[in-house]
Amino acid sequence: MHTLPSLFTPLPFGNFQLSHRIVMAPLKRMRAERPGNQPSALNALYYTQRASEGGLIVAEASQIMPEGQGMPATPGIHSDEQAAGWKLVCDGVHAKGGRIFLQLWHVGRISHHSHQPDGGQPWAPSAIAAEGMAMTASFGREAFAIPRAMSLADIDTLKKAYVEAGRRAIAAGFDGVEIHSANGYLLEQFMHAKSNQREDQFGGSPTNRIRLPLEVAEALAQALTPAKVGIRLSPFGIANDSGEPDSEPLYRSLIQELNRLGLVYLHLIEPRASGAGQREVDHQHVPSACKMFRKDWDGVLITAGNFTAEGAAQTVQDGHADAIAFGRYFIANPDLPERIRRGQAFTPYDRATFYGGGTEGYTDYKAFGFS
């Protein structure tokens, strides 16, 4: 038995305090009820199993509007039925003393016409198709189609949808929201030149390309207070045909501007884990995102990506991050913080059951039998 004290030092976090620094990362599981894409009692059980006293869960990416969906059975936060489903989740987590934020999501060009309400083209910064395969509403695979470049009116609609989704999430019981601006989805598509070739105020220079995520963050901070808003970024990430040739200046500028808004936290995905949701990856010869951008961020810094318990503790102890988010290990270890505290081995996860399905690989993982 061994303990990792740096992970179990309380952490001030906006309007409350976390009792430990092991965060459950947002994990797409594709188990919302259809039609309607609303969370159910099964989803509430899954999250409640993984809640811990004073611990933070970031719930899975949830589309802010019907057009934002890109995979089947992903939950939304744009209808009353979805909000009612999420209330079950929040109530369960809070009953165990946990805290929970909801990740707000629009996939942009990483969609398929079968997910679109009108069966049409998905939204994107520019009419440039992503390389790779889209997932259809029936869990099939087809090449990404050319998306429709968003108008300024579309962008205005999008920003309003983020705010409305944020308000709906808070009303459903969430302690806050996380803006998904990573992994090649819509907000990151605006940030990267390969997917954004606009010639207006949202394209061209790095300053223009980071404008939309900044405006979304500012709007949500004003609507909800900065203490209830975090953001997730994937510097140097290559998921979903993303990537920027010279990422550091762009992300440094974005993080410094976000820092001025006073958001409660910045959540980074380490480059070594980019694309880990689709396959086992450990990219070599890549920088450490948390080490690179720690000095640019005054609030809580969470980082995620292929951490062991020991590596997580060392990263916090060294001051490179304030908390560590675990994803795949949290799937198979609902009591992960307690396992780490007691130095217990982790149950291995089953990648074949990550997406879609029922209880198998979802709510049937057992907690360790602590006395």
Catalytic residues: 185
Residues across the chain: 371
What tokens does 263 get?
A: 């958001």
Cβ neighbours of residue 36 under 8 Å, at least 6 residues apart? 79, 81, 82
Cβ of 282: how many Cβ atoms within 10 Å? 10
Q: Which residues contact 218 (CB under 8 A, 6 or more apart)?
A: 261
The CA-to-CA distance between both ends of the chain, in Å, stands at 15
Cα gap 18→165, rounded to integer Å: 25
- The helix (run of H) or strand (run of E) holding residue 45 is helix 41-49
- For residue 163, with 0-12 CB atoms within 10 Å meaning exposed, 13-18 middle and 19 or more buried, which class applies? middle
d(CA 98, CA 330): 15
The tokens of 130 are what?
A: 């992503």
CA dihedral of residues 151, 155, 157, 161 (deg, nearest 10): 150
The tokens for 119 are: 């069966």
d(CA 274, CA 122): 24
CA distance readout (Å), 148 to 67, 72, 182, 201, 241: 12, 21, 20, 18, 17
Phi, psi of 64 (to 5 degrees): -85, -15
Look up residue 358 and give its amino acid.
Answer: G
CA angle 44, 46, 47 (to 5 degrees): 70
Q: To which residue do tokens 């009820």 refer?
A: 33
Closest CA to 250 of 293, 303, 295: 293
Residues 20 and 8: their CA atoms lie apart, in Å, by: 4
